[in-house]
Amino acid sequence: MNANTDVNANTDMSAGRGGGSGADAAPLAAITGIGPVSRVGIGVAQLAEASLPCGGDTGSGIRELDNFDPAEHLGKRGWKFLPPVTRAALAAVRLALADAGELPERSPERTGVVIGTNFAVSEIVDRIDRALLENGIPGISAVECPNFSVNVPASQVSIAHRMKAFNVTLSNLLTAGYEALLVGGRSLRAGRADAVLAGAIEGRPPAALHTVAGTSVDAAGACLLHLETPQAARERGARVYGWLTGGARRVLASDAGLARGTLVSALDSLGDVPPASVHLCLPVGEAEVAALRAEEDARRWADGCGAGVTVTRGAPQATATSVLALARHLVRESSAAPAGTAVAAGTAVAAGTAAVPHGPGEDDAVFGVLGPQGHLVLLRVATDGGAA
Amino acid sequence: MTPQIVITGLGVVSPLGHDLDSYWNGLLRGEVPVRPLDYPGTAVDGSLTYVVDGAPGSDGEIGRASGFAVEAARAALADAGLAGEGAEPETVGLCVGTGNGDSDLQEAERDGRRKLTGLQWFPYGTSGVLARELGLSGPATTVSTACAAGAYAVALGAEMITDGEADVVLVGGTEAVSRPAMGAFLRLGAADPVHCRPFDSDRAGTVYGEGAAFLVLESAEHAAARGRTPYAAVLGAGWSCDAFHVTAPDPEGVQAVRAAHEALTRGGVAKDSVGAVISHGTGTPANDSTESRTTATVLGGMVASVPVAAVKSALGHSGGAAGAFSCVTAALASRHGVLPPVGTLDRVDPECSLRLVRDVPESTRGTTLLVNAYAFGGNNITVAIGAAQGPGTAAEVRA
């Protein structure tokens, strides 16, 4: 792309490889709202209380989203012909927007949507194909036809809330949720929007998901975050859960030595100042060998810089698991933070302040997710709000 | 300063052939290689389709879409002079657009032709397959913004470079015949029984196509250091969403126009430099009538002089690959200075005021080409592709 772009862009391109270091670059985005709709919890209060980020139920099979009543969140009408995944997505948006507090009146063209999903339409595509096999073209439900396309649930979010800046669906296995957050943050920095709803949604997965995600998986779920430009968040005095300051994406090779080098370089790329903690979401089952190796390499790297490590094993909510884990961490940090360390709602901070929003590394965390194909996504998030 | 992103390699697997000469010459001749689909025992058998012969790139362990992608990506790397070279694996990124991915493997399981192993049950694994097959470990993403995915892959891949995430990025799209997707189109009555007839009065829907198109992107500086002469530059991309209807475009077309204007603004190019448009042109009544109006709005007083192509007449609608095919076509058109004809055009829709290229190729009028791609959900994108500037480029040679 060319340099002389002037589309409301924050043109801080000082970041190194990785797209923005954690401590020395302006944040990509402020995370100001969280909307979880999952067996883990619905809404931030339940999410904060969740014992494990990915549910923690034992057993096997596909668990229904039986703690979710669409009418409670979407009203009595307008959702009954929508697939379960879309209902969850629409509720997640409402929760995230409500959690973000009072928002300024924005042009519809200034809010975008980036959603990661693996299985938003898997069940529907399966049903269409089986109907075709059984009864030919007339056997396919005309009402269901448009829903064969995996981007349709995300599109329903834009349609319902008139979010016109852009609408992007990403689909890498287990990692697309974090990718959506990174792409959302970068889109804000590029001036494509002032706010983005970003995260993950999932529909009923195929049974084979067990082979990489664990013995029991969820039939549906969503977790969407409300991202804003740092300036927009400061101008309205928003409560900021955390600042997305950078990220990195790689693919780890099957060769152990190559994978180690790639993982370390990705972690190193997130800034000269090491984070306080590293939180990993890793696949299990057939992907477990590579996951354990990555965990060991990450622990060694973290030990070297004094960072703590936590690990979420398995992905019962597929690509939404990692987003739920990040969201749960932020909600808990927010509720535990002493007064004055977070930008409280209604506390105006000088507009346009470009200062780094935190002490380097003090409360920085790296959130990482590894997919069964080796996709690795790392996000760096500062959680001590606008203390500076 | 943000670097200029240039295109230095192209590769295709297409109904016109699997090398650039066959592809480009087929487009220039206005070929229409549509034929009945061979899918025995199913309701889509015999449906008119723009088919790729066989399963290039696939040994049966990966789906056809991933196979197409491997083949086209390898060709693009070779075209860029990067095949077998020692580019650092971590510095090469991947950005793949697809709508249905490797649907064929699951279809074979459903009708009892095969059992699935490993990760074959997951249809969107192409970027992982490419990373493994090509030995790459840089950023790798998959975008599934339906029929706009291939163009979004180009834009997101360009941003991998401007964001400092990679030095070189393989971008593109891939799509293979998907039985459930074709079934849905047929059920909706959205398929033309003759062939794909963009902007024709008698158009009656789109026609399914398949294939893969990949481009190698890098910064102009990086290309110059390797002594490569780019085809063209990716100048900028405008994104928008109608937020209007799941399947139908907003007939007002406000957001489609905004995407085009934003592509020009981000590209830093003036509207009067637009010398050609590669339309989305699906052959559906709604898309083509809306796109006729929005493109005319964008072109303004230049509408009678700027040629417009519609390559789905030759390729069919390859869904998530379509936007990437259009970007490959724009790169070739930029290099050769001509736009291919719409081979199926008989009677232009009287409500369409665009200067559609018909019968024979037509010269481009300016240095910037606009590539449109639109999709289910009202997802719009326009990519501005134009002459590369700087060392070793045609622009410098002319100067």
Contact B240 A164 (CB under 8 A): yes
CA dist A223 and A43 (Å) reads 9
CA dist A123 and A144 (Å) reads 11
Contact A113 B139 (CB under 8 A): no
Among the listed residues A290, A303, A318, the one whose alpha carbon sits nearest the alpha carbon of residue A214: A318
**A190-228 residue pLDDT tens:** 999 999 999 999 999 999 999 999 989 999 999 999 999
Is the residue at A123 inside a domain? yes
Asked if A206 and A326 touch (Cβ cutoff 8 Å), the reply is no
Per-residue confidence band for A359, with pLDDT thresholds at 50, 70 and 90: very low
What is the bridge-based pairing of β-strands A216-218 and B211-219? unpaired
State the pLDDT at residue A339: 42
Contact B246 A146 (CB under 8 A): yes
Residues near A34 by Cβ (< 8 Å), separated by ≥ 6? A44, A47, A95, A96, A99, A223, A225, A226, A241, A327, A330, A331
Determine how many CB atoms are found less than 10 A away from the CB of residue B358: 16
CA dist B322 and B356 (Å) reads 19
Cβ contacts (< 8 Å) between A108 and chain B: which residues? 243
Q: Is the Cα torsion angle B291, B293, B294, B298 positive or negative in sign? A: positive
* Distances, alpha carbon A234 to alpha carbons A31, A171, A181, A185, in Å: 12, 32, 20, 16
Domains and CATH numbers, chain B: 1-399 (3.40.47.10)
Residues near A264 by Cβ (< 8 Å), separated by ≥ 6? A297, A301
**CB-closest option in B43, B139, B158 to A250:** B139
Is the residue at A6 inside a domain? no
Give the residue-averaged pLDDT of B93-105. Answer: 97
Q: Which residues of B are catalytic?
A: 147, 280, 317
- Round the average pLDDT of chain B to a whole number and report it: 95
CA dist A326 and B131 (Å) reads 27
Residues near B117 by Cβ (< 8 Å), separated by ≥ 6? none
Mutate to test the interface with B, among A81, A122, A171 (most CBs of B within 10 A): A171
List beta partners, residue A167: A113
Give the residue-averaged pLDDT of B332-346. Answer: 98
State the pLDDT at residue A78: 85
**CB-closest option in A15, A170, A192 to B239:** A192
Among the listed residues B312, B323, B280, B316, the one whose alpha carbon sits nearest the alpha carbon of residue B49: B316
Among the listed residues A325, A347, A2, the one whose alpha carbon sits nearest the alpha carbon of residue A181: A325
**CB-closest option in B93, B111, B258 to A109:** B258
CA dist B74 and B135 (Å) reads 11
Q: Per mean pLDDT, which range of A9-18, B212-221, B241-250, B368-377 is the poorest?
A: A9-18
A226 touches chain B (CB under 8 A): no
Cβ contacts (< 8 Å) between B138 and chain A: which residues? 249-251
**B180-203 residue pLDDT tens:** 999 999 999 889 999 999 999 999
Asked if B271 and B244 touch (Cβ cutoff 8 Å), the reply is no
Q: How many domains does chain A have?
A: 1
Q: Token pair of B68, please?
A: 């197409």
Q: Quote the domain boundaries for residue A228.
A: 16-388
Task: Give the type of residue at B147.
Answer: C
List beta partners, residue A31: A227, A242
CA dist A180 and A320 (Å) reads 11
Count of pairs with CB atoms under 8 A, one residue in A, one in B = 270
Residues near B211 by Cβ (< 8 Å), separated by ≥ 6? B12, B13, B14, B15, B50, B52, B68, B72, B174, B175, B315, B318, B321, B325
State the pLDDT at residue A15: 38
| DSSP letters spanning B217-229 | EEEHHHHHHTTPP
ipTM exceeding cut-off 0.90 for this assembly: yes
Domain with A306 in it: what CATH number? 3.40.47.10
Per-residue confidence band for B390, with pLDDT thresholds at 50, 70 and 90: low
Chain A, window 133-162: residues with a beta carbon less than 8 angstroms from a chain B beta carbon: 133, 136-138, 140, 142, 145-146, 148-152, 154-156, 158-159, 161-162
Is the residue at A230 inside a domain? yes
Chain A nearest C-alpha distance from B301 (Å): 24
Cβ contacts (< 8 Å) between B135 and chain A: which residues? 253
Is the residue at A9 inside a domain? no
